[in-house]
Amino acid sequence: MNATRAAAEQVAASSASPDGHEVVIRAEHLVKRFGGNRVLDGIDLVIRRGEVVSLMGSSGGGKTTLLRCVNLLEEPTEGVVEVDGEVVSKDGHSLHRARRVQLRQRVGMVFQSFNLFQHLTAAENVALPLLRVARADRDEAVARSVELLARVGLADKALELPARLSGGQQQRVAIARALALRPVALLFDEPTSALDPESSQEVLKVMRELSTQGMTMLIATHEVGFALDVSDRIVFMDRGRIVHAGPPREVVFGSASERAREFFAGFVRQGSQAG
């Protein structure tokens, strides 16, 4: 009896942190090689339910690849990736077909270039995964699509094609689409990098709301202000490694890493001038 309980606790411990928040995403010694190039060079990272974590660092540092290894758009070369308690990749062996498809339903992704399906209206973009993946009936898919578009403030654009929407609007539709299957976590790959400042603010506002609603989010971003404001942690990456991870203010203003200090120097200077 006791042994069983101990075993159960051990299992629970592997997916729960000391403060009881479940681990949603875990990477352990994650390596991704493209040819001879180690784009991810031993990443250890744990994201708990409800956490908002910003991945920062110069382009080419591995942020995007890390996100893509979580939903297996890239195959990790070594190490472990765990999502929602399930090992999705271990030592270069990743989930196959059906289970990979299931994994992707549990993790939503938002891309830098929106990637809305150009031949479908905004509402159909959101409805597609509901109809084709979740096999929802039409009434349910329609109701949920409209509700999600309303949530990102775009109910009035439901029947527009993506080409007729601004970048900010397209990205908000993309967020609604990523939310359609009620994922346990959302991955954002530089969601505002292709947007003008005003559109960026629209999108960041939606992301801020999601964070207050308790959505678990892993965000590759260059928006230092947003990362400071919204994230629980900033993870600073350089050349495939995590250089510094910690509370946002600590990483931005007081990192021991020279690379991080260089990276945030512009922002810190600007901030002190403005203040």
Partner 1 sequence: MTANFTSFGPFHVDWISWAPTVGDGIIKTLEFTAVSFAGAIMAGLLLALMRESPVVPVRWLARIYTEVFKNLPLITVIFLVYFGLASMGLKLSVFEAGCVSLIVFYAAYLSEVFRGGLASIAAGQREAAHALGLTEREVLARVVVPQAVRVVMPATTTMLVDMLKSTSLLITIAAAELMTVGQLIASTTFQAMEVYLVIGVIYFVMCYPLSMASLWLERKLKAGTPLSPVRRRLIGEIRLALPAAAAGGQS
Nearest CB to partner 1, comparing residues 32 and 157? 157
| Interacting residues of 139 by C-beta distance below 8 A, sequence separation 6+ | none
Total chain residues near partner 1 (CB under 8 A) = 44
Among 22, 44, 160, 250, binds partner 1 (CB under 8 A): 160
119 part of the interface to partner 1, by CB under 8 A = yes
140 part of the interface to partner 1, by CB under 8 A = no
d(CA 80, CA 77) in angstroms, rounded, equals 9
d(CA 148, CA 124) in angstroms, rounded, equals 12
CB of 65 to partner 1, least distance (A): 13
Q: Which stretch binds partner 1 (CB under 8 A): 45-53, 80-88, 155-163, 230-238?
A: 155-163
- DSSP, collapsed to helix, strand or coil, labels residue 81 as strand
CB of 259 to partner 1, least distance (A): 29
| Interacting residues of 177 by C-beta distance below 8 A, sequence separation 6+ | 116, 125, 126, 128, 129, 148
- The answer to whether residues 189 and 64 touch, using CB atoms and an 8 Å cutoff, is yes
Among 80, 161, 245, 268, binds partner 1 (CB under 8 A): 161
- DSSP, collapsed to helix, strand or coil, labels residue 187 as strand
23-34, strands of its sheet edge to edge: 37-48, 23-34, 78-83, 86-90, 93-94
Among 116, 152, 218, 235, binds partner 1 (CB under 8 A): 116
Subset of 176-235 contacting partner 1 (CB under 8 A)? 177-178, 180-181
The residues that bridge with 81 in the sheet, in sequence order, are: 27, 89
Neighbours of 184 (CB within 10 A): 18
CB of 108 to partner 1, least distance (A): 8
Nearest CB to partner 1, comparing residues 71 and 200? 71
CB of 17 to partner 1, least distance (A): 27
The binding site for partner 1 (CB under 8 A) comprises 71, 73, 97, 101-105, 108-109, 111, 113, 115-119, 121, 123-124, 127-129, 132-133, 138-139, 142-143, 145-146, 150, 155-161, 174, 177-178, 180-181
